[in-house]
Structure formats: structure tokens, C-alpha cells
Amino acid sequence: MARRGRTTIEWLLGIVSRSHLVEGGCREWEGARNDSGYCVSWAPEALCAALGLAGRLVRVHRALYLIEHGTLDPELHVEHLCGNRWCIEISHLEAVTQTENNRRAILTRDHDLVGWDRFGWPPPNSEEEPVL
């Protein structure tokens, strides 16, 4: 069936078929990623409308969180508890504030994915502890 005519079930099956389990229980996405390293996929129009998503190119983890939980406060972000942006395992996702999301990024030193060099701290492989 053409991409345009996919149902939500077909989209979900496609998501599962383009992912695999890795050590630690993560289900890693093998499909496209955006410039920030998040997994993206074209979703059916009906699914986007039902979830209140503005476009059809969606962040897979966010769409899966919305399917599982039904709603998400617009002020919250879907955080990867495992710290793996390629992970789409629903049990690894949690809704958090931007402040909490930033705090966790600092604590886990996610500089390889979020580009700490833009902020000037910490340098890669730094032993310096964050000040919170």
C-alpha cells in the first residue's frame, strides 16, 4: 500500500519492523533521524489529527508516547529515561518539564548528542562536575 494511504496500525507495524532490541532493553530506531538525532517518520494524516500533531513528519518517540497515554501537556517534553535518543521503547519514555529535561542532560553529560560545544561547557571527556 502506498505511504499516503497507510492506516495507524500499518504505521505502527512499520515502526516496529524498523527497530530492534539492544542491550539495556532499548528498542532502537533504524529509520530516519532529524538534525538533532531524534527518530522521525511520516505518519498518517488521521493519526496526526487525532494526536494534535501539527505536521506529518513526527518524532517517533513523541507519537508513540501520545498513542500510549492519549495526551501530553504542551509544556512538557517526552524524555528518554535511558538517555538514548534512538530508543522508541514506550517504557523508557516519560513526560517532563524543559527544566527537568535540561537538568538530566547535564547530569548524563549528553554532550555528544546535544552539542555542548555550542554552550562551551563541559568540553568532551571533561572530568569537571556540573554545578546545579
The closest alpha carbon to 86, from 11, 6, 132, 18, belongs to: 18
Q: Which domains, and CATH codes, for the chain? A: 3-113 (3.90.75.20)
> What DSSP string describes the chain?
--GGG--HHHHHHHHHHTEEE-TTS-EEE-S-B-TTS-BEEE--HHHHHHHT-SSSEEEHHHHHHHHHHS---TTEEEEETTS-TTB--GGGEEEEEHHHHHHHHHHHT-HHHHTGGGTT-SPTT--PPPP-
Sign for the pseudo-dihedral over CA of 87, 38, 112, 118 = negative
Angle at Cα 89 formed by Cα 33 and Cα 63, nearest 5°? 60
Q: Using a pLDDT cut of 70, give the percent of the chain over it.
A: 78
What pLDDT, in 10s, does the model give residues 31-58? Answer: 999 998 899 999 998 888 888 887 789 9
Mean pLDDT by 10 residues, the chain (132 residues): 71 94 93 92 88 85 91 89 91 93 75 45 50 46
What is the pTM assigned to this prediction?
Answer: 0.73
Identify whether the C-beta of residue 106 lies closer than 8 Å to the C-beta of residue 132. Answer: yes
